[in-house]
């Protein structure tokens, strides 16, 4: 199905739809961390789980849409691979969730201080 869409010059539309779905999901997932555990170690474990799930999901999307990644993405300037697009969206929405970003950075710095 992905290859058919790409062969019929619909790779751009497919890529845009995948990106919008990923962005919506990533935003909702990170927003769900707002107000979670005040314990920074517990909070970091929630963030780590969120990150692991994100990576697993992006690998699944990439494997399903591999043809898109290997054709449309490589042939089109300024279009990120599906993996890189997922990383960029995760980074973007993490920085938009100020509380989540702050607690993550603070928690990581505290863990480094303990070592």
Q: Does residue 115 surpass a pLDDT of 90?
A: no
Position 6 confidence tier, pLDDT thresholds 50, 70, 90: very high
Distances (CA, A) of 90 to 23, 28, 68: 8, 11, 21
CA 46 to chain centre: 15
User: What domains are there in the chain, each with its CATH number?
Assistant: 2-114 (1.20.1310.10)
Contact indicator for 58, 81 with CB cutoff of 8 Å: no
* pLDDT one-digit tens code per residue, 60-103: 999 999 999 999 999 999 999 999 999 999 999 999 999 999 99
What length is written for the chain?
Answer: 115
Contact indicator for 34, 97 with CB cutoff of 8 Å: yes
pLDDT of residue 96: 96
- What's this model's pTM, rounded to 2 decimal places? 0.91
């Amino acid at each position: 199905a992905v290859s058919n869409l790409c062969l019929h010059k619909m790779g751009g539309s497919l890529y845009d739809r995948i990106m919008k779905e990923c962005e919506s999901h990533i935003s909702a997932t990170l927003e769900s961390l707002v107000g979670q555990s005040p314990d920074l170690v517990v909070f970091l474990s929630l963030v780590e789980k969120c990150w692991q799930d994100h990576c697993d999901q992006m690998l699944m999307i990439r494997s399903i849409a591999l043809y898109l990644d290997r054709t449309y993405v490589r042939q089109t300037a300024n279009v990120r691979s599906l993996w890189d697009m997922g990383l960029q969206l995760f980074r973007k929405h993490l920085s938009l969730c100020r509380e989540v970003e702050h607690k993550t950075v603070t928690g990581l710095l505290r863990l480094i201080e303990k070592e």
